[in-house]
């Protein structure tokens, strides 16, 4: 990039960005948490060791992987056991899995390995301690697992078609952190170097599970996998409704994520592209096109979106040249052209344009953690609150809630699994136990009841305390405009899959494979550096939208 002093453009307005359809079109970027983790592992010169391995020829037993990060040692404990095929399911109601995992604070001794061996397979029903940082479980991609093991044992060609199509050996059905089921609260590691960012412990767990799956299949097959093949084998994940309400329950954290991404885009718009960056953008555009060709899923509606995106991407990037990209205003011109296409095209363009500018945007990842919640400002005047409603909340105040469709759904927590669920208000019981995710409706009711009131807001709340929650959220928007999803989350047409994709894109997920509007499969860490790459000193932070190797 050429040295220049250019005023940073304004960020895209929250009323444009924080819409479910756009959020449901987001792609991973270099700001995603897995990318941040691998950069830190590389910068720290981290190395992975395997102090414990007791796996039999059928692939059953226990293993421990240890890595040093930020001056602390962490270990992944893994246990695999026989599983009746009838019990293999991605659903949260499952009670048994092919493998279970615990991210451990330190290195477990024999006594701790024995404890983890008895408790990890129980998952939610187990008993855990403050040494246990994350809890996870996974099932094999049985077809691919068997094909690779057979090929390695026979010394025959690997099933590269299946490897490219599936992209992982195991698929996690949960990666729990932050105090769930008795494991350590996030505060235990939140200030530690390397784990201070959002979901860093969970991302470390996923990356180490990937290393275990590679070793496991090599052990069972009796031969090594080529490194290029292992890089293509990430970790699958099945994610459902349990993840969606997180974005609503942590509004200030959501703001931090989104404003960092929008600031990154603004910084890139302000930067002048030089020949090196131009060459990189052209190469990345080709990679993205190949990634889209390799992304195929069963769902016809979402596959049609992918096909459309392939065509739009080809048109957007057709005729790219170094000279054209180095012209002033080239980034803005590309962004403007993308606006003629789908939200998928627009958000893919954002991730693409950010990618070559690590020196400009990577520091923003230090601002993505946010432990705070909205706090009531009781002295704010009713007039000032009305101003915030007018400035930020048209998405809520303009909805016609007399239409049953506007409140057709409701969120609740299931008694059996303590997981979020969605009910149909007109036909299913439980609306009397509704979770407070009907933000738009609550804001509209606040706006109506605020009419005619003056003085400080505490006086209004003394009369109508039921509006306290909505007041806090509206007040937060003054300094945190990206804190609120600006759509109706109980509308008949609301699709939770949009919230899932937004959050998963920040994790670094790719190849979204929706199974309904309620849950999706994804791939994590595909293309990421291997433990061996760290040991060899060849690890690189260059795996945005990975593609298959020849």
- The structure tokens 């505060």 sit at 187
Residue 92: its pLDDT value, please?
63
Residue 93: its pLDDT value, please?
65
Cα(512)–Cα(355) distance, integer angstroms: 20
Cα(335)–Cα(349) distance, integer angstroms: 7
Task: For helices 275-294 and 343-354, give the axis angle rounded to 10 degrees.
Answer: 140
Residue 4: its pLDDT value, please?
44
Helices (H) and strands (E) in the chain, counts: 23, 11
Residue 241: its pLDDT value, please?
85
Return the CA Rg of the chain: 24
pLDDT tens digit sequence for 501-519: 999 999 999 999 999 888 9
Residue 190: its pLDDT value, please?
93
Tell whether pTM > 0.85: yes
194: left (phi over 0), alpha (psi -120 to 50) or beta: left
Query: Please, are residues 17 and 514 in contact by the beta-carbon 8 Å criterion?
Result: no
Q: Which of 409-417's residues contact partners 24+ apart within 8 Å by CB, and which partners?
A: 409/490, 409/491, 409/492, 409/494, 410/434, 410/435, 410/438, 410/490, 411/245, 411/435, 411/437, 411/438, 411/489, 411/490, 416/93, 417/92, 417/93, 417/124
369: left (phi over 0), alpha (psi -120 to 50) or beta: beta
Residue 2: its pLDDT value, please?
42
SS3 231: helix
β partners of residue 176: 135
Residue 242: its pLDDT value, please?
82
Which residues in the chain land under pLDDT 50?
1-6
Cα–Cα distances (Å) from 545 to 106, 159, 273, 394, in that order, read: 33, 22, 22, 36
């Amino acid at each position: 990039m050429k040295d220049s002093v250019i005023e940073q453009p304004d960020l895209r307005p929250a009323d444009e960005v924080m819409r479910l359809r756009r959020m449901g079109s987001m792609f991973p970027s270099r700001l995603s948490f897995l990318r941040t983790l691998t950069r830190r592992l590389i910068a720290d010169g981290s190395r992975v060791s395997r102090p414990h391995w007791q796996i039999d020829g059928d692939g059953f037993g226990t293993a421990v992987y240890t890595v040093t990060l930020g001056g602390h040692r962490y270990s992944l404990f893994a246990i695999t056991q026989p599983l009746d095929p009838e019990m293999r399911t991605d659903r949260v109601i499952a009670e048994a899995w092919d493998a279970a995992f615990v991210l451990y604070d330190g290195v477990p001794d024999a006594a701790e390995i024995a404890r983890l061996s008895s408790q990890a397979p129980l998952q939610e029903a187990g008993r855990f301690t403050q040494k246990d940082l994350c809890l996870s479980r996974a099932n094999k991609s049985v077809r691919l697992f068997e094909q690779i093991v057979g090929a390695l044992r026979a010394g025959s060609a690997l099933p590269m078609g299946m490897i490219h199509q599936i992209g992982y050996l195991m698929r996690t059905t949960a990666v729990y952190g932050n105090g769930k089921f008795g494991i350590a609260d996030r505060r235990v590691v939140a200030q530690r170097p390397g784990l201070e960012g959002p979901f860093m412990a969970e991302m470390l767990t996923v990356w180490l599970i990937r290393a275990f799956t590679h070793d496991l299949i090599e052990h069972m097959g009796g031969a090594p996998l080529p490194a290029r093949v292992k890089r293509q084998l990430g970790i699958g994940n099945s994610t459902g409704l349990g993840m969606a309400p997180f974005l609503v329950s942590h509004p200030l954290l959501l703001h931090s994520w989104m404003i960092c991404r929008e600031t990154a885009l603004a910084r890139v718009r302000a930067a002048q592209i030089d020949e090196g960056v131009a060459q990189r953008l052209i190469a990345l555009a080709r990679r993205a096109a190949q990634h889209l060709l390799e992304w195929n899923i069963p769902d016809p509606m979402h596959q049609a979106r992918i096909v459309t995106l392939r065509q739009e991407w080809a048109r957007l990037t057709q005729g790219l040249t170094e000279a054209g990209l180095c012209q002033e205003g080239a980034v803005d011109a590309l962004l403007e052209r993308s606006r003629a296409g789908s939200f998928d095209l627009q958000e893919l363009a954002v991730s693409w344009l950010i990618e070559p500018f690590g020196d400009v945007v990577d520091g923003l990842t230090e601002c993505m953690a946010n432990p705070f919640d909205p706090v009531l400002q009781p002295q704010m005047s009713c007039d000032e609150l009305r101003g915030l409603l007018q400035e930020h909340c048209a998405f809520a105040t303009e909805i016609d809630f007399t239409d049953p469709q506007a409140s057709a759904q409701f969120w609740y927590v299931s008694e059996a699994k303590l997981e979020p669920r969605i009910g149909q208000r007109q036909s299913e019981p439980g609306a009397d136990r509704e979770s407070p995710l009907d933000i738009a409706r609550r804001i509209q009711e606040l706006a109506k009841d605020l009419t005619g009131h003056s003085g400080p807001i505490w006086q209004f709340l003394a009369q109508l305390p039921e509006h306290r929650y909505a007041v806090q959220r509206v007040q937060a928007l003054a300094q945190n405009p990206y804190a609120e999803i600006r759509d109706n989350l109980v509308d008949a047409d609301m699709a939770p899959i949009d919230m899932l994709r937004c959050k998963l894109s920040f994790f670094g997920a790719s190849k979204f494979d929706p199974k309904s509007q309620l849950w999706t499969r994804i791939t994590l860490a595909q293309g990421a550096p291997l433990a061996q790459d760290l040991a060899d000193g060849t690890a690189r932070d260059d795996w945005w939208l990975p593609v298959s190797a020849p």
